[in-house]
Amino acid sequence: MNIDKEIDTRGLNCPLPILKAKKALSEMLSGQLLKVVATDPGSVRDFQAFAKQTGNELVDQQTVGEEIIHVLRRR
C-alpha cells in the first residue's frame, strides 16, 4: 500500500483523531491514502462512522499492540 500522508494521533481521545484526519484529508487529492495512527480504542468505531458520513473509503483498520492503524482513501 502506497501511503501519501501519515498523521500521529497517539494519546489523543475522541474527537481529536477524527478532526486531525478531516483536516489532513482536506489537504489531499482524490484517491490519495491517509494513514492515521491512534491509541484510542473508540477510534475504530469513530473512523467507520466518519468514512460512511463523508464518503471517504476506509481501506484498512488494524490493531498493532497498543496502536490502531486506520487507512482512508480520499474521495
pLDDT tens digit sequence for 43-66:
999 999 999 999 999 999 999 999
- What is the pLDDT confidence band of residue 6, given thresholds at 50, 70 and 90? very high
| Catalytic annotation present for 36 | no
Residues 34/4, Cβ–Cβ less than 8 Å: yes
Residues in contact with 52: Cβ distance below 8 Å, sequence separation at least 6, in sequence order? none
Catalytic residue among 7, 14, 16, 58: 14
Backbone angle region of 55, left / alpha / beta, with phi > 0 → left and psi within -120 to 50 → alpha:
left
Region 20-43: mean pLDDT is 98
